[in-house]
Structure 1
Amino acid sequence: MSRFILFQRDDCHLCDLALEVLAQARLPEFDSVFIDDDATLEARYGIRVPVLRDAQRGLELDWPFDADAVRALAGA
């Protein structure tokens, strides 16, 4: 699993925008995790998605975030 995880939903306009921000920030490899079919993830992230998580440090960015915030999270 990658250091960074983007928690998102299927058919989520905000999630699509978050993916664009991650591309702008040139975030290294990340995993996408869809919360729709997971009750635990749904309970944790349901109204917060998209959420970018640094799994190594346990830090999270809730939407809305921009490229500068992503780079700061990544330590770039």
Structure 2
Amino acid sequence: DRPADLLFFTTLGCHLCEQAEQMLGSVAHSQRAELAVDVIDIADDAALVETYGIRIPVFKRVCDDVELGWPFGEEQLVHFLAGAVDVYKAGETT
């Protein structure tokens, strides 16, 4: 297993989070991107609830700590993910 490319801050019962997760799957598939995603339930941590409670769903790139919070569309997500994929590909050894 390789380290996560992306963190996904979410919680149970978050309808927008479900939409964002489906969008991520669709975009990753269409871009042929293989991303390792760690799903983080903010309900388990008071500090995360404070930080992300009203902003979820939020994706965070591990490579540079850049965040993409709701609302966002597929085009924004494609551009956001491109940064994570480029960093991963740059680190690959052939």
User: Does the TM-score normalized on the shorter chain lie above 0.5?
Assistant: yes
> Aligned-pair distance for 1:33?
0.3
Structure-1 separation of matches of 2:21 and 2:47: 23
**Aligned-partner residue type, residue 14 of structure 1:** L
Structure-1 separation of matches of 2:25 and 2:64: 21
Greater Cα radius of gyration, structure 1 or 2: 2
> Where does the alignment leave 5 or more consecutive residues of structure 2 unmatched?
86-94
The reply to whether residue 30 of structure 1 matches residue 32 of structure 2 is: no
Q: TM-score, normalised by structure 2?
A: 0.73
Structure-1 separation of matches of 2:76 and 2:38: 18
RMSD across aligned positions (CA):
1.4
Moved more, 64-73 or 45-54: 64-73
For residues 17-66 of structure 1, what are the alpha-carbon distances to aligned partners after superposition, in whole Å with 9 as ceiling and x for unaligned? 00111011115221110001201111110100000100211111111222
Equivalent runs, 1:40-51 vs 2, <5 Å: 40-51=47-58
Partner of 2:12: 10
**Aligned-partner residue type, residue 76 of structure 2:** A
The reply to whether residue 62 of structure 1 matches residue 69 of structure 2 is: yes
Displacement over 2 Å in runs of 4+: none
Which structure is higher in RCO with an 8 Å CA cutoff and minimum separation 6? Answer: 1
How many pairs does the alignment contain?
76
Q: TM-score, normalised by structure 1?
A: 0.89
Richer in helix (by share): 2
